[in-house]
Structure 1
Amino acid sequence: MAIHKLDLGEFDEIDYYLIAIHTSLEDYRLAYFINQKLPVNLSKSENEIQIKIKEGEINFSRFYYNDEENTASWNLIQNVNEVIHIKDGNTQNLFSNVTMEVATKAFLLPEFKKVDYFLKIENNEDTLDISNVQLILNTIENVSTVYIVETSLIKSKNNLIF
């Protein structure tokens, strides 16, 4: 009987760039400024990224642009969001009949808690100068820092599959 081996090495290849963005801007304003600075047209996607955590399900906003000319797709993704859940008061005290709403911060990539947004660029042909994109993003007002994330450091890579 012959033994067949499957080489799954090519499935482990990372075919995207991930840029971390630290800013106080709202997602729609950041997408607007990126559209002005780069030759993209990011628009709000109805397909938000949904992740389940112990407090419930949470959605992260996503702006998307498909560049057919350069065979690249651009995703601006929110990294920080809040989930509000109701906590019942089980103790006997003055506030025992009060239900409280508790807000918990959730992260798309928990290992990067200080990052506000990620720009995920999927490019199949390596025609993109990623360091130039980083320099252009650094020129946006109210963006404090921008850097390229080493994809081997990402522990929760499954959250980036959408």
Structure 2
Amino acid sequence: MAIHKLDIGEFDEIDYHLIAIHTSLEDYRLAYFINQKLLINLGKSKDEVHIQIKGGATEFSRFYYDDNENNIEWNLIQNINEVIQQNEETTHDLFSDTIIKMATKVYLLPEFKKADYFLKIENSNDTINVSKIKQILNTIDEISTAYTIDTDQIKSKNNLIF
């Protein structure tokens, strides 16, 4: 009888590339420009990225394309969103029973607060040139800058599991 051992390190491998994008575009317009330049077909995903924080829960928009020919999955994910918290105060004065709504910014990857979007490229056989993709993204006029992120710098890697 053979004994099979699993190495925990096998599950900790990072098999994706991440490109940060700085732009003021809405997500659907950014997806449109990326589709034109990279010749892919990003579409709005019904499965948004859910993040739970102590103030509540939020969802980040996600555009997805599965390139079966090249075995590549493309995800365009929003990095910044807001959580609206309601605080109900019960004081007995002029402003009693007021509901205060506070909006708090929430980041998918808090260590990269300046990035507006992330392009996550999952490729199991490393056939793509990420630096070429980054160069193409930087040719889009509406993108201020796009750069690759070293996956070792990411502290909140669990937020990228979807």
Give the shorter-chain TM-score range. over 0.9
Paired AA for residue 160 in structure 1: L
Match of 1:80 in 2: 80
**CA distance, structure 1, for counterparts of residue 145 and residue 92 of structure 2:** 48
Paired AA for residue 131 in structure 1: S
- Give the C-alpha shift of residue 96 in structure 1: 3.0
Q: Give 1:16-35 correspondences, 5 Å limit.
A: 16-35=16-35
**CA distance, structure 1, for counterparts of residue 17 and residue 140 of structure 2:** 19
Gaps of 5+ in 2: none
* 4+ aligned runs moved over 2 Å, structure 1: 4-7, 89-97
Equivalent residues of 2:74, 2:119 under 8 A apart = yes
Paired AA for residue 102 in structure 2: V
Match of 1:139 in 2: 139
Closer, same or farther in 2 for the Cα pair 1:90/1:113, shift >3 Å?
farther
Paired AA for residue 83 in structure 1: V
Paired AA for residue 24 in structure 1: S
Gaps of 5+ in 1: none
Match of 2:103 in 1: 103
**CA distance, structure 2, for counterparts of residue 93 and residue 136 of structure 1:** 60
Q: Give 1:9-88 correspondences, 5 Å limit.
A: 9-88=9-88
Match of 1:155 in 2: 155
Report the TM-score, using the length of structure 1 for normalisation: 0.93
Equivalent residues of 2:90, 2:98 under 8 A apart = no
Between the two proteins, the alignment pairs up a number of residues equal to 160
Paired AA for residue 125 in structure 1: N
**CA distance, structure 1, for counterparts of residue 90 and residue 159 of structure 2:** 34
Q: Deviations 1:118-151 (Å, cap 9, x if unpaired)?
A: 0000001111000000000001122111100000
Paired AA for residue 21 in structure 1: I
**CA distance, structure 1, for counterparts of residue 51 and residue 109 of structure 2:** 11
State percent identity of aligned pairs. Answer: 65
- Give the C-alpha shift of residue 90 in structure 1: 4.2
Report the TM-score, using the length of structure 2 for normalisation: 0.93
Q: Secondary structure at the match of 2:28?
A: helix
**CA distance, structure 2, for counterparts of residue 92 and residue 54 of structure 1:** 28
Paired AA for residue 57 in structure 1: A
- Note the aligned Cα RMSD (angstroms): 1.6
**CA distance, structure 1, for counterparts of residue 94 and residue 128 of structure 2:** 61
**CA distance, structure 1, for counterparts of residue 139 and residue 90 of structure 2:** 52
- Give the C-alpha shift of residue 7 in structure 1: 2.2
Paired AA for residue 67 in structure 2: D
Closer, same or farther in 2 for the Cα pair 1:5/1:68, shift >3 Å?
closer
